[in-house]
Amino acid sequence: MRLRINQVAVRLAYGENDVLKAVCRELRCKKELLGNIEILRRSLDARKKDQEPRYILSVEVDYSGRPPMIKPGQLEKAPDPEPPLVFPAIGTVEHPPVVIGAGPAGLMAALMLAEAGRKPLLIERGAETPDRSRQVEAFWKDGLLDVESNVLYGEGGAGLFSDGKLTARSKDRARIRRFFETLVSCGASPDILFDAMPHIGTDDLTHIIPAIRNRIWELGGACAFNSRLEGLKIENGALRGIVASGKEIRTDACFLATGHSARDIYGMLYQHHVPLEAKPFAVGVRLEVPQQRIDEAQYGKWAKLPMLGSASFRLTRKEEGNARRCYSFCMCPGGLVISCASSEGLITSNGMSLSARDKPFGNAAFLVPIEVSDFPTTGNPLLAGIEFQTRMEKAAFDAGGGNYGLPAARLIDFLERKKGGLPAERSCLQSTPALLQDLLPEFVSQTLESAIPNMLRELNRTPLEEAILYTSETRSSSPVRIVRNDMGESTGVKGLYPCGEGAGYSGGIVSSALDGMRAVEQFLFKEPRGDV
């Protein structure tokens, strides 16, 4: 009998024998009755500040003793393993499918197509990872922006220069497992298969992403970098080809995974009468505090234990008075605040961590929801959210000195609505003192002024004097949705499969990868897509 056991507690420095003993205690049996123990999930329990933190495991084990009492939620019979995905036979294929965009959605869509024998063509406007990394370093060091290959465009997508957080709210465990196993087989740590809050880190991603691309090549796929989608060829409501960098490519299936920063794509789709709709998103600032404060807040007197690593946080504040809801997003422990740009004269902030997460500061976006009713009333209403973002990014660029540095302020200066100096110790040295209220919509700054001090009190009363704000954080999600049906196709163009963050249906690395995978399954199996 194979059993699944939850809430198995072990010490931080546990080994295989510790897990075996803990399972024996739970089942009240001898170790000779157990075999093939597998850890399914591992989470850190640091809630009791007077006790050393411990790991809580979920495990599966073969058990040959007397049938135990089943306790749903704690002890239960392990479910049958997911059957392997069997791809349908390949008929006559005149034109191979095309995937636009090499972020998580595009890479996984292209890989799945290649595994199914469909030999896709993957098109990416930016450069391959090594060239892109050099371009990004030149941007951060000297303010040299390549509008086609940068922090937001290129192989690996915007997530390449981030914390590599693999947060997954989806219950689609089979596809999550398939995605994580792909990452591990391409060089990621096997720990991501069971950690409750897995992450990779930019330094490791720069090796893993090219390995995924190489696998696509080995399976017969092709990749075209530095090639930008410019148009669609549509006949009688069906896709018949695309135009990329002046070249027409015939295809009946295009997986559009261009990300939420490729704003020109939305304009092109609008010109082709592809159905779009405006959607809510969120904007705010990137807040940075000493990582030591976060560790002490989460781990108490155990904060200096090296095996714990850098702690993270998630904070929320409900709507009250004139302040809207506020929440932290994309927290980067032991990381850096970075500037991002994909268009000249516009700048936005983001966070990044390396795999060790050992830098002296931690940061997170503090965001305020933006409703469609907040969008500008001039221009194209479908694209008005982009105009909202653009106005903020232009103001930030100008206030940052016009060289792609970020406007910044100490939190206490922000709360007093004044422009002061910046501390020498901060993660983003390409930053300039600014009065942030001049750069944010009034209701956004009012919400942040009200919410942030209260939120930091929840973080063990982290001193307000130690926090720095960088602005503006504008690209947490897309302000546009490409409308699609239950089969994953555009409601206006048969054969066009919008997926990932740019389609407006996902947010983050994992949900985008799953969306790309599900889109390919829709194409191959012709079934309703369901929820990812």
pLDDT digits (tens, 9 = 90+) for 267-280: 999 999 999 999 99
Per the listing, tokens 């959210």 go with 385
Q: According to the model, what pLDDT value does residue 225 have? A: 98
pLDDT over threshold 80, residue 93? no
Strands (E), 127-246: 222-224, 229-235, 238-244
Q: pLDDT > 70: what percent of the chain?
A: 98
Of the candidate ranges 3-12, 166-175, 283-292, the one whose mean pLDDT is the lowest = 166-175
Model pLDDT for residues 28-51, shown as the tens digit of each residue: 999 999 999 999 999 999 998 889
The C-alpha atoms of residue 247 and residue 264 are separated, in whole angstroms, by 18
Per-residue tokens: 99: 């995937």
The total of other beta-carbon atoms located within 10 Å of residue 490's CB is 26
pLDDT for 484:
97
User: For the residues 22-29, what does the mean pLDDT come to?
Assistant: 93
Q: Which residue has better confidence, 306 or 434?
A: 434
> Helix, strand, coil: what percent of the chain each, to 5?
35, 25, 40
Count, residues in the chain = 532
Q: Are 42 and 54 in contact (CB under 8 A)?
A: no
Burial of residue 21, with CB atoms counted within 10 A of its CB: 0-12 exposed, 13-18 middle, 19 or more buried? middle
> pLDDT digit string (tens) for 349-373?
999 999 999 999 999 999 999 999 9
Classify residue 325 by burial, with Cβ atoms within 10 Å: 0-12, 13-18, 19+.
middle
Closest by CA position to 153, among listed 177, 178, 128 = 128
Q: What are phi and psi of 411, to 5 degrees?
A: -60, -40
Number of Cα atoms under 13 Å in the Cβ half of residue 410: 15
Contact residues for 17 (Cβ-Cβ < 8 A; gap 6+) = none
Identify the pLDDT of residue 92: 67
Residue 460 has pLDDT above 90, yes or no: no
Q: Does the pLDDT at position 67 exceed 90? A: no
Cα 338 to Cα 117, 155, 427, 482: the distances in Å are 40, 18, 8, 29
Collect all residues with Cβ–Cβ distance below 8 Å to 416 and sequence separation of at least 6. Answer: none
How many angstroms separate the CA atoms of 327 and 318, rounded? 9
pLDDT on residue 71: 85
HEC string for 140-157? HHHCCCCCCCCCCCCCCC
Q: What percent of the chain has pLDDT over 90?
A: 89
* Higher per-residue pLDDT: 527 or 340: 340
Give me the pLDDT at residue 448, please: 98
Mean pLDDT to the nearest integer, 443-466: 95
Q: How far apart are CA 61 and CA 305, in angstroms?
A: 31
Residue 532 has pLDDT above 60, yes or no: no
Q: Which domains does the chain have, with CATH numbers?
A: 2-77 (3.30.70.2700), 98-278+478-525 (3.50.50.60), 281-473 (no CATH)
pLDDT beyond 80 at 168: no
531 has a pLDDT exceeding 70: no
**Alpha carbon distance 250, 239 (integer Å):** 9
**Encoded tokens for 318:** 């409900």
Average pLDDT, the chain: 95
**Hey, CA dihedral for 124, 127, 133, 137, is it positive or negative?**
negative
Which pLDDT band holds residue 83 (cuts at 50, 70, 90)? confident
At residue 164 the predicted structure's pLDDT band, cuts being 50, 70 and 90, is: confident
What backbone phi and psi angles, to 5 degrees, belong to 453?
-55, -40
Give pLDDT tens digits for 502-516: 999 998 999 999 999
